[in-house]
Amino acid sequence: MENASEFKDRVCLVTGGSSGIGRGIALEFGRLGANVLIADIQENSKIGKYHDTDITTTTSEEIINNGGKSEFIKCDCSKDFELENLVKSVEKKFKRIDILVNNAGIHIPGSIEEQSIEEWDKVMSVNLRSIYALTKLSLELIKNSDYGRIINIASVNAFRGGLGPAYAPSKSGVLNLTRDLAITLGRHNITVNAICPGYIETPIQDYNTPESIEEFLATLPIKRLGKPKDIAHAAKFFASKDSEWITGSYLVVDGGGLAS
């Protein structure tokens, strides 16, 4: 396996790792020999209307079935005490975190006329606040690594409106938080970078219609929708030694959508 020795026995924590992009990232690091910790509100993968319709294993089961090492830790990333318990669990077993992937995220459809203030707060709490909170709580464990990597999952919507009044601002906030953390943590040799996915085939796309998906696909220079593995490959790069002098940056992975 390529790069397997580089990631062998690295401690990799992936939030929102049960489904979608998080599952894809976790499976990739599991394949590469890391100890993959899946933190999510539920262990079973979400089943989508259009994508991930036939998943029968949990992420950890899939990693273990393929010869890797993984375990699930139940955690609602919007709740500080659950984040604290998550970090305590990792500290007790591993004493460090080498790779932190802040992937947990939600989307609640609706315009400003339709979305409640409570729903706005919920999106912000999961998509932005939880990244700050978990990174802060994990900081000593990441400093204990000789390899600290923080990878935040943003979105192409960080650069434009759409998907409601909470989602886009939450993702643009992720980019500026990434930059600020990179400035502060560089002296500890910790890199902090973000990935901005476009349309990825996951259950979060259930709000679409078959017609809107086809219309969007027609706008892409590369005529296919994204897959979780496309984001996993970007995460692998940001976690690798090849990116050791890249920090405070972001990578758009969207089939050319933003360029159109």
Catalytic sites, residue numbers: 167
Closest CA to 100 of 4, 20, 26: 26
Residue 208, CA atoms < 13 Å, CB-side half-sphere: 19
Sequence-ordered strand ranges (E) for 157-224: 191-197
Q: Which residues contact 193 (CB under 8 A, 6 or more apart)?
A: 150, 151, 152, 178, 182, 238, 243, 246, 247, 248, 249, 250, 251
Q: How far apart are CA 128 and CA 125, in angstroms?
A: 6
